[in-house]
Structure formats: C-alpha cells, structure tokens
Structure 1
Amino acid sequence: MVDLTPDRLPVAVIGAGPVGLAAAAHLAERNLPFVVVEAGDAAASAVQAWSHVQLFSPWEFNTDPAARRLLAAAGWEEPDASALPTGGDLVKQYLQPLAELPALAPHIRYGTAVTAISRLGIDRLRTAGREEAPFVLRLADGDEVLARAVIDASGTWNQPNHLGANGLPAHGEQDAAAWINHGLPDVFGADRDQHAGRHTVVVGAGHSAANTLLSLAELADTAPGTTITWAIRGADPAGSFGGGSDDELPARGAIGSGLKMLVDTGRVALAPNFRTHTVRTLGGDPGRDQVELISRGPDGTEQTLTADRVVAATGFRPDYRIADELRLELDPIMSASRALAPLIDPNQHSCGTVTPHGYRELAHPEPGYFAVGMKSYGRAPTFLMLTGYEQVRSIAAALAGDMEAAQSVELQLPETGVCSVTAGGEAIALRLGLSKEQHEQLLHVTAKHLGTSATASDAVLSAATELGIDHTAALQLAAYAADMFDAPGASGC
C-alpha cells in the first residue's frame, strides 16, 4: 500500500538538464525525497544536441552553488571560472559528474517521458481536497509516479518556433521539413555537407542566428561556393548586434561585433523585412534540389529567396499539454506565469536586466506545481542558466519550509557594462580555437601595427593576417577592436 503522506512522497523533477539537476541538488541538500524523470537516455540530452556550440557566458555563470558543493565533496575539480565552455564541456565536466553522484544517481529515471500530470483521483474541475491530493505523473510506458510537488524543468528544445512570421507554420513548411534545420546546426561537423559549397538562408535575429551566421562565414573560407543570406523580419538588424564592446559578457559582445562585420562587408547578404509566408520545394531531393522561401508583407509585397538549406533560428516555445489537467495561470502573451511575465518581457528586458525571482513569481493556482528554467520563460528568449539555478534554490527552500531563504531571492546577472579589450579579444580568440598564448601574441603584434594603421581595426587585421589567422577570423577581431576603440567600423577593412 502506498503511503500518501505528503512528507513521505517525493518531489518530482521533470528533466535532467542543467536546471533539473540543480533542483535535484538543492532537494538532496535539504534531505527532501525526490525523483527525476528524464525522457532521454542520459543526463542533459538537449545540451548534447548542441554540444559543438560555445557558450557566451563563462563557467561562473553556468554552474549551480548546491551542485558545486555536492561535487566538491566528491573531489570534483572545478573548471576555470573565466573559461568559456562548449555544450559538450558543460556535459562532460559538470552535468554528467553531477548526475552520477550517489546523492542523485539512484533517484534519476532515464528513458522516462511524462505524458500527463494530474491530481490523484481529481480532475481540473474539482476543488474540494485538491491541495491535499498527491500529483500523479503518467509516463509513456504506462507507469505512474506520485509526488507531493512537481518541478517541471522539461525545457523547450523539442518545441521550436515555426518559420512563419505570424507564429504559424509557413504554408508548405511541413512538406519542406527535410530542407530545414532548427536550432544550431553543427556546420563544421555532422551538418557540414549540408552547407559546404551551398547557399544557406538563416531566418531569425537572436544569438542562435548570430552563432550560425558566424560559423557559416568561417566555413565559407575553406569551402568555396558557400554563400549565406540572413533573413530578418525587421528593417534594421542593429538590435541583433547587442552591446558590442560594452557588453558585460565579452563573448556575447564579440558575437554582435562579428555579425555586424559580416553584414557590413557583404560576407552575409541581408534580407530585411522578410516575413516568411510560404516555403516551396523545387524538387524532391533535399541533398540536390533547392527550396524557395516567399515573404509577403502587410501590403502584399512579395520577396523570394532560393536556398539549398534553411536554418530556422526562430527560437522555441513551451509545451504545456502535459499539464492540461492542472490549474495554470499563463500570461496570454509570454506563456509564462502571470507574475513572472512582466519581469522577462523581451520588449523591456535583456538577459541581464531580469528582476530576481523565485517560488512566488513561479507559482500557479495549482499549489505545488512550478515550471522552471527555459520553460518558465515561455516565449521570451532571454533566459540564462544562472536564473534557473536561483529559481530552484528558492523553490526547494519553500518546499522545505524555510520561507526566509525562499523569499530571499538574490541574483547578480551580467548585463551591459564596461569590459576590457583583452577580455573581449579572448572571447573571440577562444571561439576561433586560439590559445591564450596565441591571443597574447596577437595583442603584441597589434600594438606594433597601431602606429602605422589608420584605425584599430586595421591594426588587428594586419596582425591577424601576419599570424596566419583566416580572413573571416581576422575581420571578426578587427570588428571588435574597432568597437572597443571607437574607431571606424570594420566595413572599411
């Protein structure tokens, strides 16, 4: 017979990604029983899908305090706080060791997809006895898990946004799925043959689009015939360039500077005011035939782009269908909890200007259910892992009855501020695979050229060329130097 006493039931954590594992770490520290259900066959399966991507935030912003404490007790060697990990580094050096700890490993169920959540013996309509009834999580294999609370860290990776500019699938998008990559394709690895020597159209204006455009430009240096078009809904791409040299995360600023350079120099063709309406295949073979994107403006004006490959860097959205029997109160715009939505609205906030928040802002009319991490942000693209770690710290404290700790929500997020040229240059150098020593050599040679160069960007470009750095890499470095020293843009290089 199952003991339905709330304190004896586990807290169910959905998802063994960075935030889900952080929730487990906080629950373990507070000696609260828990179970983690993960649809993938290993921890952080979504992160594994973008293991080739380098994060623009260093290690200090990507690990959770409770997780670090548990790992340190087991002899874990913490990575350099200022280094920039790839997704693969994050899994291998942090998430996988965390999931294997004795405090967590026995409580994680892999290959376990949650298909629905409800209350034991109670549907959404019934109020009497609701708060005392355990949650019931139905699994894909037919099994069920009872829980006192649910922390839903299932993320958004499996729910990409559509190409259609109005949020709906573009006409013909499903039929053209074989031509379309979502998220962050590995253009130097598994997806290289799809893009090398071919024309790729990247749709989207966020960091995923910027990363893909920079990678494709580097690929073009070694793969003749590789061409790139960037399609954006707006008239001006300036918003995608970010804080440049003023960004408190140098790697994030470097991405924006590099992207501006690609557009200014014509390495990437810009298609502004492009609102995808229709996708039409021009044959039946995705490896040989092309696809046509058709934009239709509000006045009926049409534009057409023809591509060998399309990257839909259009973001992701949460899927709340598993919680249909729960009483959720979602903001009609953001698809986040009502209290959180105004704090994360991308029309008002960037990653670093989000107000610290915890269990109160994440609560719903369904007591004990919390969506956290990427899922908690709904349609907002401004999530940082550090935010999710603070979310689950607050929730674990609340579930433990430590309301003082639960309500004391503090978070220092990196936003726009002053950074050094060395840090920004290192961010780009790391992204290009250069060692710290090579970067220092680059600075030394740049200084030699400053006296004879018209601009700082010219000096960096000359130094990079002298050291044998490829053309696109040189232009990216030049773009950042120009930004740092208020010199003319890299478009004159």
Structure 2
Amino acid sequence: MTSPLIQQHGVAILGAGPVGLAAAAHLLSRGIVPTLFEAGDEVGQSFRAVAHVPLFSPWRYNIDHASRALLERGGWQPPELDTLPTAGELQQHYLLPLGQALTRHIRLNSRVLSLSRHGMDKIKTAGRDQAPFVIRVAQHGAVREYLAGAVIDATGTWGKPNPLGANGLPAIDEAEHGSRIFYGVPDVLNAHRTRYAGKTILVVGAGHSAANALLNLTELSQQEAGTRVHWAVRGNNLRRVFGGGEADQLPARGALGSRLQQRIKSGELTVHSEFRIQALHAAGQELTVVAETPSGIVALPGIDEIICATGSRPDLELSRELRVRLDAWLESTEALAPLIDPNEHSCGTVRPHGHRELAHPEPGFYIVGAKSYGRAPTFLMATGYEQVRSIAAALAGDMVAADDVQLELPETGVCNAPVASAATTGACCGGPAPAEANACCVQDAEAKQAGKAGCGCGIQPAEPLRAKASTCC
C-alpha cells in the first residue's frame, strides 16, 4: 500500500530525460502522482545537444514499456524497433511526445538546487521517515520550495564533464583555454565544421564518444585539406573502445570500434597511448599539451582545438543534506559498485537490480539512471527503465513486483580483465557463483553451467579492491 506521506505529497522526479519520464509513467500506472522538475526548456534536452550522434542501441532497447503504453493510448505509433535512431530522433519521436503526454506533471525551466527533509537537517533522526522532502527549485528568476513524499533523482551526469587532467583534476590552465576545448561530441561534419576544418585537433578519451568524434574528424580530414587528428588516451589497452566486433550483440557498437581500428591502420589519425595530460600552454595561436608518459614528460605542440570526451561525473551537491550511501570511488549507489566497477570487469552486463540495491539510508530517496552508476561508463537506458519500474512498484507497496527485477542487456563481446589460470589466481571455477560475487563471476558461473566457456573475470586483484567482489570461488 502506498504510504500516507506519498499519498499526501506525491513523488518528485528530478530530470525529465528518458529515465525520469519513464519513472513518471510507471508511477502513474500505479496511481501515484509525480511531479517532474526539468532544468531545461524541454524534455530530453541533453539529447538535443548531441542530436547528430547515432545511438548504437536500436529502438527496442530505448523505449520503456509503461511509457510506450501511455503513448499508444494517445495514438502514438512506435518506430521500427530494429532500426538505429540518432540522439535527435530519439528526442523528437519518443521523448517529446512522451513529455507531451505527461505535460501536466512536468515543470520546465525548474532547476533543483538542493534537497532536504522538512524541519530537520542531516543530523536529526527522530521522526525523519515521517517528514516530507523539501525540494528547493529555481524557477523563472525566483526560488520556490516544494514538498514530496519520495524523491527519484534522475538528473544524470550530463552537466558535469570530466576534465582533461589525468589525475581527475583539470589540467593546469585548462580553464584559461576553455574556448579551445569542446566537452562532449561536437557536430564536426555540420554545425561545427568550420571550427575544425583545416585544423589540428586532439581528441582525449577512450570511450564511444571519443570514437564517434574521431571517425567524424577523419572523415572531415578527407574532405578538408590540412585537417590533422590526434588521439590521446591514459592507458595502453584500447580493447574496450574497439569493442567486441562481430561478437557484440549491438552490431553498431561493434562496428564503431572496427571502423576506428581501420582508420588507425590507414594512418588517418595519430594515437598517443599512456598519455597523461598535465597542462596546457599557449604557443602563439596554438596550444602545446604537456603530458606524462612512460618515457617522461613530453609536449605535443601545434594543437588548434581539443575535444574532451572523457566522460562525466554526478553532481553530489543536490543531496548533501540527505543520508546517501555512495561508493567511495565510483560515486555510484554503493550496492551497484561491485557490479559495474571498470577496475574489475567490463563483461557488458550487470545483474538485475531494483529498489533494494538503489535504496539509501534516507527512506524514500533513490538515485537512478546514469547518475546511479556514478563515474562508471557502462550505463544503458534499458537498465534505468527496469530500475524505475521496480521503484514505482515499491513505492506503491507491491513488493512482489518490486523484487521481481529482470534485466536483459546486449553483450559487448568484450571482457577486459586478464585471463589466467584458476590454479594460480583463484579465478572463476564454475558452479553457482557466491552470493556476494561480482557480475563477471556470475556471468562466468552461468556460462559454465550452460556448457559454454566462462569469461574468466574472477581474478584476484594485485591489491584489494572490494573485499566482497574480488574473486568468485
């Protein structure tokens, strides 16, 4: 049964992206009134910013079931489920219609500034679970406060890009040269073409955003004389960005890495591995990038523009006055960390997880979507949809449905942990995985039970990473 607090004050959802909108659809299907606060002037605004970028997951993985049911009641026709949308198409053909269907529950141009409990700070315990949440919001030049019986934070990580510096801090003088740095994936071939045509560009990052930028830049270099492309990564293993090729269950994702490898082999771009950026220096009209490498400090001169595609991180200030339990280094929801930690594995799947894994010591508060993964780069929208389905069921008091979490994600074809002998490492050895094993070990155990080769990811680390997730057996 829905709690009296929720019945009285409803549920606040922060962020009207795909996961926040899905949360609203699931809550409405349960008879719970949501209010969505969106900082932008339309829903799915972050997708508008990268409208030109093709997604590597087809429509079937990008549409939430409750959202689809809501849309279809209004006559919406789904796209061909096996086709690949761009980010802009996802916004135009799915998110904006969904926002229209939910319009009376959405507050646009409403930036959430902070969260707390009514009448008490973070320290006070007595009566805490009976006090509504206070959501402080900047709206149209004024600051207002709203009350809610529960809060779902789906604000994502879009607005806080990681810096160039290899140590997690901005490179020295990074801010000073900010006009020469694009954070994210620019529209190289169209809107931003003149910015990059005929220039020498450095792309920094080892994920799919960097791969997209590099492919577009190399195409531009074929069309515009004098365009030169450099690629800098901190590590020396590019297997994750190259992907699993034909073994990837998302063919577009596998093809992305394969195309990038071909561009490197053809000499269309220069790769700088183990290139840990420390500082930027102006040299006339150009930049010199200073980095630490295995051979010492080196300088890469003659750079006109930098594309920083190093990922993003969550804004932790919103919930400073709430009792939140986050992982110490991923900044993800703590229970998810052993499943998604890129230090330990990248097998491409996580175990199904829902309201229990996403709960915090603050009753009624949940972080979902990309923000629930913190700094981990492996989030897919389908994961967020199952998260909010489970949470909506829990808030409605249907614990059977809330606990029945199911998650089917496409394999990457990549497992980047080193494969070694179980006799020497204590690695995955088949059979049921221990309850506290990490996701890679679970995958290994299930594969071996099915008579298939395991992923071999349960290798004891050189130094303790997570006591409960370092080995399978």
TM-score range, shorter chain: 0.7 to 0.9
Q: Amino acid of the residue matched to residue 301 of structure 1?
A: I
Is the 1:280–1:291 Cα contact (8 Å) retained in structure 2? Answer: yes
Residue 327 of structure 2 is aligned to residue 331 of structure 1: yes
Report the secondary structure of 2:335's partner residue: coil
Q: Amino acid of the residue matched to residue 333 of structure 1?
A: W
Equivalent residue, structure 2, for 1:407 = 403
Change (3 A) 1:367 1:298: farther
Cα deviation 1:248-304 (Å, max 9, x = unaligned)? 100000000001111111111111121000011234xxxxx2212110247743242
Equivalent residue, structure 1, for 2:375 = 379
CA drift of 1:348 comes to 3.4
Equivalent residue, structure 1, for 2:127 = 129
Cα deviation 1:454-478 (Å, max 9, x = unaligned)? xxxxxxxxxxxxxxxxxxxxxxxxx
Q: CA separation in 2, counterparts of 1:154 and 1:88?
A: 19
* Aligned counterpart in structure 2 of residue 105 of structure 1, from 103, 127, 132: 103
CA drift of 1:237 comes to 2.6
Change (3 A) 1:234 1:5: closer
Cα deviation 1:96-148 (Å, max 9, x = unaligned)? 000101xx110100000000100000100000000110000001231011000
Report the secondary structure of 1:295's partner residue: strand
Could you tell me which runs of 5 or more consecutive residues in structure 1 were left unpaired when the two chains were aligned. Answer: 284-288, 419-493
Equivalent residue, structure 2, for 1:74 = 74
Is the 1:351–1:382 Cα contact (8 Å) retained in structure 2? Answer: no
Report the secondary structure of 1:212's partner residue: helix
Equivalent residue, structure 2, for 1:183 = 184
Report the secondary structure of 2:300's partner residue: strand
Q: CA separation in 2, counterparts of 1:373 and 1:212?
A: 24
Report the secondary structure of 1:100's partner residue: helix
Residue 356 of structure 2 is aligned to residue 360 of structure 1: yes
CA drift of 1:246 comes to 1.1
Using the TM superposition, name which of 303-312 and 209-218 deviates more.
Answer: 303-312
Equivalent residue, structure 1, for 2:204 = 203
Aligned ranges for residues 33-432 of structure 1 at < 5 Å?
A: 33-101=33-101, 104-140=102-138, 141-283=142-284, 289-297=285-293, 300-350=296-346, 352-416=348-412
Q: CA separation in 2, counterparts of 1:93 and 1:280?
A: 44
Change (3 A) 1:145 1:351: farther
Q: CA separation in 1, counterparts of 2:280 and 2:256?
A: 29
CA drift of 1:416 comes to 3.8
Equivalent residue, structure 1, for 2:428 = none
Is the 1:351–1:383 Cα contact (8 Å) retained in structure 2? Answer: no
CA drift of 1:343 comes to 1.1
Report the count of equivalent residues: 408
Is the 2:347–2:413 Cα contact (8 Å) retained in structure 1? Answer: no
Q: CA separation in 2, counterparts of 1:399 and 1:31?
A: 11
Cα deviation 1:138-162 (Å, max 9, x = unaligned)? 0123101100010000111110001
Could you tell me which runs of 5 or more consecutive residues in structure 2 were left unpaired when the two chains were aligned. Answer: 415-473
Q: Amino acid of the residue matched to residue 138 of structure 1?
A: R
Is the 2:152–2:368 Cα contact (8 Å) retained in structure 1? Answer: yes
Report the secondary structure of 2:342's partner residue: coil
Q: CA separation in 1, counterparts of 2:394 and 2:370?
A: 21
Q: TM-score, with normalisation over the residues of structure 2?
A: 0.84
Higher helix share: 1
Equivalent residue, structure 1, for 2:444 = none
Q: CA separation in 2, counterparts of 1:248 and 1:5?
A: 44
Report the secondary structure of 1:142's partner residue: strand
Identity %: 53
Q: CA separation in 2, counterparts of 1:360 and 1:5?
A: 20
Equivalent residue, structure 1, for 2:417 = none
Q: TM-score, with normalisation over the residues of structure 1?
A: 0.81
CA drift of 1:351 comes to 7.3
Cα deviation 1:313-356 (Å, max 9, x = unaligned)? 10000011011100111110110111111111123343731111
CA drift of 1:240 comes to 2.0
Q: CA separation in 2, counterparts of 1:395 and 1:351?
A: 26
Equivalent residue, structure 2, for 1:428 = none
Cα deviation 1:57-89 (Å, max 9, x = unaligned)? 000011100001111111111000100000110
Aligned ranges for residues 449-488 of structure 1 at < 5 Å?
A: none
Report the secondary structure of 2:280's partner residue: strand
Q: CA separation in 2, counterparts of 1:119 and 1:72?
A: 38
Cα deviation 1:163-213 (Å, max 9, x = unaligned)? 000101100101010000011111012211111111110001000000110
Equivalent residue, structure 1, for 2:459 = none
